[in-house]
Amino acid sequence: MLREVLAQIAEKESHSANPSPSVVTIGTFDGVHRGHQHLLGEVARHARASGARAIALSFNPRPTEVLRPDMPSFYLCSIEERVERLRAAGADAVAVIPFTRDVARTSALEFVSLLVETLRMRELVGGPDLALGRGREGTPDVLRAFGARLGFTVTIVPGLEIDGEAVHTSDIQRLLLAGDIERAAIRLGRPYQVEGQIVHGEGRGRTIGIPTANVAVGEKIILPRDGIYAVHFLYNGQRWPGAASLGYRPTFDGTTRLLEVHILDFHGDLYGKTCRVEFVRWLRPELRFTGIDALIEQIAQDIREVRYVLGIRESPCSLA
C-alpha cells in the first residue's frame, strides 16, 4: 500500500525520465495551522534552494485513530481542505497516505528507503517531535544515520510558539471546545470554519419569522462549544453575516445537536447546497425560555450583537 501511494505521486509529478529530487515532510497536518504553515514554509524554502520539489505526505486517518480505536478522534477540517491548504502553504505536491496497521508495522528504514526510491528524497524535514516507522523508532538521530547510508539529510525545524506556547492541533481543539474562538483563530491563522450541506429542519425558525439554514457537518469534524455565535456564512464565493445556534435547542426539548444559521440580509433557497460557516465569536450559552415571545426577543438581541461584532450598522447602545 505504502509503495503504491508513493509510486503514484512520483508518476504524477514526474515530467521527465529523470524527475527532480524532493524535500519531504510527513505528518497528519490536521487543520494546517500556523505551526504546520511554518514547517511547510521551511520545506518550500529548502526545496527552492536546491532545485527540488517540496512534497508533503499526510496520514489519514491519524495514526492514533487506528492504533487506539477506543479513543474518539475528531478533525479540524476535511481531507480535501487539508490537501488544499497544504498546497497553499508551499507544497508542490501532496500525497495522502491511508494509515493502516500494515503501514504502522513498516520499519523506519523501510519507510525512508521507499521515500528515496520513489520520490528521490534528498532531505527530510520535520518538527521537534519527528518520529517515523514502527513504534516511532525513527527518531531524528536514527533517521540521520539512515540518511548517511541512503543519501539524504534530516532537518528539524523548531516548533512555532504563540504567547510562549507551541502550536498544536490538540490545543486548538481544546480552545474550540471552550468557546475561545479568537485564540483558536490566532493559532490556526484564520477563523475556524466548518463545511456542510444545507438540509431540511423542522421549520421552527421560519414560523417565528427568523428562518435558519440547517448545516449538516461531517461527524468527524469538531464543532466548538454549544451556544450562540457571530459567524460568516460562505456560499458560492460570497459571504454574509449570520447568527448561529449550535446545540440542542432546550426551549424545544431538542435531542439532536444542530448547527443552525440565521443569515442576515439574505433571501434565497439553499437546500442541498454546500456552504461553510466561519465562527467569529462565541456570544452566550444556550438558554431555555419560558415562551416563544421571550425567545424571539433574545434572538433579536443576539442579531443586534452579531451586527455589532461583525461591524455592520449597530452601535453599542443598541445592545442594552
The grid coordinates of residue 297 equal 426577543
pLDDT at 213: 93
pLDDT at 203: 62
Residue ranges per domain, the chain?
2-165, 192-313
C-alpha span between 173 and 74 (Å, rounded): 9
C-alpha span between 282 and 178 (Å, rounded): 10
> How many other C-beta atoms lie within 10 A of the C-beta of residue 206?
11
C-alpha span between 320 and 301 (Å, rounded): 9
C-alpha span between 201 and 271 (Å, rounded): 10
Q: How far is CA 12 from the centre of its chain?
A: 25
C-alpha span between 176 and 192 (Å, rounded): 9
pLDDT at 287: 86
Query: Which one of 3.40.50.620, 3.40.50.410, 3.40.50.720, 3.40.720.10 gives the CATH number of domain 2-165?
Result: 3.40.50.620
Helix intervals (H) in the chain: 2-13, 34-50, 63-67, 79-88, 101-104, 108-119, 140-150, 169-177, 181-188, 204-207, 292-309
Q: What is the DSSP letter of 74?
A: -
pLDDT at 249: 74
pLDDT tens-digit series, residues 79-120: 999 999 999 999 999 999 999 999 999 999 999 999 999 999
pLDDT tens-digit series, residues 130-154: 999 999 999 999 999 999 999 999 9
pLDDT at 251: 58
The grid coordinates of residue 266 equal 439574505
Q: Would you please indicate which residues are annotated as catalytic (active-site) residues?
A: 260
Q: Any residues with CB less than 8 A from the CB of 185 and at least 6 apart, and which?
A: 191, 192
C-alpha span between 55 and 92 (Å, rounded): 6
- Whether the CB-CB separation of 224 and 243 falls below 8 Å is answered with no
Beta bridge partners of 197: 216, 274
Please give the angle made by the CA atoms of 260, 263 and 265, to the nearest 5 degrees.
165
Per-10-residue mean pLDDT of the chain, 320 residues long, equals 76 64 97 98 98 96 94 94 97 95 95 96 97 96 98 97 94 97 98 95 70 94 97 94 89 76 89 96 90 88 95 53
Which residues in 182-195 are b (16+ Cβ under 10 Å) and which e? ebbbbbbbbbbbbb
The grid coordinates of residue 131 equal 518520529
Q: Any residues with CB less than 8 A from the CB of 113 and at least 6 apart, and which?
A: 146, 150
Q: Phi first, then psi: what are they for 319, rounded to 5°?
A: -90, -5
C-alpha span between 92 and 214 (Å, rounded): 37
- Whether the CB-CB separation of 179 and 282 falls below 8 Å is answered with yes
Q: Is 229 left (phi over 0), alpha (psi -120 to 50) or beta?
A: beta
Fold classification of 192-313 (topology level) = Elongation Factor Tu (Ef-tu); domain 3 (2.40.30)
